[in-house]
Structure 1
Amino acid sequence: MRAAPLAVTALAAALLLTGCSGDNDSSGGDKATASPDNGTTCRIGAMDVEVGPANVAPAAGDTGNIPVTLTNQSADCTLDGFPGVDLKAADSSASLAPAQGATATKLTLAKGTAATFTLTYTRGEADAGASLDVTTLEIGLPGADTRKSFKWSYGPVQGKGGKAADPTASVGAFTQAGD
Structure 2
Amino acid sequence: MLPHSVPTRIDIPAIDVHHTLITLGQNPDGSVQVPSLDDVAVPGWARFSPTPGEQGPAVIVGHVDSAEHGAGVFFRLGDLRPGDTFTVGRADGTVAEFTITGVDRYAKDAFPTLAVYGNTRQAEARLITCGGSFNPDTGNYTDNIVAYARLTGSRPAPTP
TM-score, normalised relative to structure 2: 0.29
Higher strand share: 2
